[in-house]
Every structure is written in C-alpha cells, then in structure tokens.
C-alpha cells in the first residue's frame, strides 16, 4: 500500500495548518476559515459536544478553539471528514473510537494529566488506520477479519499476515502526512507498542489502556475480538493499581450509556 493514494485532506485543514504555523495568526482568523465550511463546522461542533470532552454547549468554532485548542479542532475536522467516508456498516468502529476517546479522557482526568483534550482526541483517532485499510483495501480487510476469526488472532497479527503492515503503522504514516503533531501521531502509531513511543509515552500509554478497556467492555466493535495484553510498561508508567482501574471501569461504563445514545444520533445524520 503506498501513501500517495491516501485520502486527501480537506483544503480547510491545509489552510489551518499553514495558519497555525504562523505565530501572528489569531484564533479568530483560524475560526473564520473553519466556519467558512458549514458542514464541517457543524460536524466539528457535534464532536466538540460529544461525551469525549466534558464541556457542555460549545456553540461556536471560536469557543471550540479556545476550550479545546487548535490541535484538537484540527483533528476533529480530520476525524469528521474521515468518519464521514465510513459506511453505515462501520458503526461498530465508530462507536469503538468514540468509546476510546471517552475512556482516554476519563483516565487522563483521573490521573491529573495535562492536556486531557488532546489525549481524548488521540483516543478518538487511534484506529484511523483501520478506516484507511477499510477504504483502501476493502478486499484485504475481509481476508484480515476472516483470518483473525479463524485462527483467533489479534487484528494487528492478522493485518501483518495479509498486508504486511498493521493499522497502527498505517495510522502513524497518515497522521505524519497530515502534519498532526507528534503528541497525536505517537499514540496513534504506538498504541499497541507503548515502548516504541519516545516523546509522548504517557499519552500513548493512556490510549493503550483506554483501547483495552473499551474492547474488554464489548462496546462498539473495532474488528478485534480479543482483549490484547495490558502492557506492563503502560501500567507502571501510569502507576495504575487494582483500585484505580476498578474505579475507572465503573466511571467508563457509566459514561458509555451516554455515548451509545450519542453515536446513534451521529449516525442518523
């Protein structure tokens, strides 16, 4: 699979990229660019008001940029354009992604980590590679699912067998080619191999644990039928223990009731 054929970014995001590189540009200026695309703005606001972020009533793009940060809004623009491509049969993956966003946010808050919104966004986007595989190699994807089911493999193992790469790596390439900051691209690329994350290992660890919690809870369907092993390095890095994780499971499960309703609304658009 070559990277040239990957989906292109909406032009709005390219403009945003160049603006956010420029120190002199203001939030208002950037918000104006996003607002010029009404469909995109509506979707961004929808996501900004999702249970993944704890804010209620983010009503304007400017507000979203101030509350969530430019990086997050940019990623939401990407997430909404990518997920818009997904067919109705991808509801499972969409729900899984939303769930991991929510869980990542709850974990980050519980541990008192900085930049909870960015961690939530990394969670929301962590399986973006799977979407790409589904769009770009739909035939191979069928084989992957079948192989994983037949031989009881994890998704990454089956992907390696069939397309000689895996969704985390694809997601990593993609986030690089879209100029997402490393604090988002590292958790996407290494959520199955936390040790490989060099600069943002804590964020990566949070997404790794969030992914496992959501698969364990059976919420949505990521294509992975089995709970992957919890990586010791992530567990130690976040200083988790039985009590913390029990509280987290209860909080996540509690919140998932809301997510379920939200994702149904989102898909009915």
Q: Concatenate the DSSP letters of all residues of 83-145 into one string.
A: HHHS-GGGHHHHHHHHHHHHHHHHHHHHTT-S-HHHHHHHHHHTTHHHHHHHHH-HHHHHHHH
The yes or no reply on residue 233 touching another protein (CB under 8 A) is no
Binding to another protein, residues 138-157 (CB under 8 A):
152, 154
Closest CB to another protein among 122 and 213? Answer: 213
Binding to another protein, residues 17-56 (CB under 8 A):
56
Q: Which of 113, 140, 147, 216 binds another protein (CB under 8 A)?
A: 216
Q: Which of 59, 146, 246, 265 binds another protein (CB under 8 A)?
A: 246
Q: Which of 57, 112, 199, 269 binds another protein (CB under 8 A)?
A: 57
The yes or no reply on residue 230 touching another protein (CB under 8 A) is yes
Tracing tokens 């499972």 back to the chain, one arrives at 92
87's torsion region: left (phi>0), alpha (psi -120 to 50) or beta? beta
Q: Which of 28, 247, 264, 265 binds another protein (CB under 8 A)?
A: 247
CA 182 vs. chain centroid, Å, equals: 14
Tracing tokens 């199955």 back to the chain, one arrives at 192
Closest CB to another protein among 33 and 225? Answer: 225
* Residues 6 or more apart whose Cβ sits within 8 Å of residue 164: none
Q: Which of 5, 8, 26, 250 binds another protein (CB under 8 A)?
A: 250
Q: Concatenate the DSSP letters of all residues of 15-39 into one string.
A: HHHHHHHSTT--HHHHHHHHHTSHH
| CA dihedral of residues 171, 107, 251, 247 (deg, nearest 10) | 130
The yes or no reply on residue 227 touching another protein (CB under 8 A) is yes
Shortest CB 259 distance to another protein, Å: 12
Q: Which of 257, 263, 264, 268 binds another protein (CB under 8 A)?
A: 257
Stretch of residues binding another protein (CB under 8 A), selected from 103-111, 131-139, 169-177, 252-260: 252-260
- The token pair that represents 257 in the structure block: 């009731």
CA angle at 142 for the pair 43 and 80, rounded to the nearest 5°: 10
Q: Which of 87, 112, 229, 268 binds another protein (CB under 8 A)?
A: 229
Q: Which of 29, 146, 198, 253 binds another protein (CB under 8 A)?
A: 253
- What residues make contact with another protein under the rule CB under 8 A? 56-57, 152, 154, 212-213, 215-218, 225-230, 232, 235, 242, 245-247, 249-251, 253-254, 257, 261
């Amino acid at each position: 699979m070559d990277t040239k054929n990957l989906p292109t970014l909406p032009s709005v995001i390219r403009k945003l990229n160049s603006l956010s590189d420029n120190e002199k540009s203001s939030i208002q200026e950037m918000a104006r660019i996003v607002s010029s695309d009404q469909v995109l703005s509506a979707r961004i606001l929808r996501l900004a008001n999702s249970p993944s972020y704890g804010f209620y009533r983010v009503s304007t793009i400017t507000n979203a940029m101030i509350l969530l940060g430019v990086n997050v809004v940019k990623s939401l623009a990407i997430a909404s354009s990518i997920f818009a491509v997904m067919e109705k049969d991808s509801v499972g993956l969409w729900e899984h992604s939303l769930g991991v966003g929510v869980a990542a946010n709850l974990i980050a808050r519980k541990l008192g980590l900085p930049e909870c919104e960015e961690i939530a966004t990394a969670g929301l986007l962590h399986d973006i590679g799977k979407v790409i595989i589904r769009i770009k190699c739909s035939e191979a994807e069928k084989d992957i699912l079948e192989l994983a089911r037949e031989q009881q493999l994890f998704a990454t193992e089956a992907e390696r067998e069939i397309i000689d790469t895996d969704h985390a790596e694809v997601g990593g390439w993609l986030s690089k080619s879209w100029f997402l900051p490393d604090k988002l691209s590292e958790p996407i690329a290494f959520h199955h191999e936390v040790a490989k994350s060099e600069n943002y290992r804590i964020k990566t660890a949070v997404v790794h644990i969030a992914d496992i919690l959501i698969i364990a809870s059976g919420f949505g369907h990521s294509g992975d039928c089995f709970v992957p092993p919890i990586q010791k390095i992530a567990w130690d890095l976040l200083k988790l223990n039985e009590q913390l994780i029990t509280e987290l499971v209860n909080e996540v499960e509690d919140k998932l009731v809301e997510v379920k309703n939200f994702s149904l609304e989102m898909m009915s658009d």
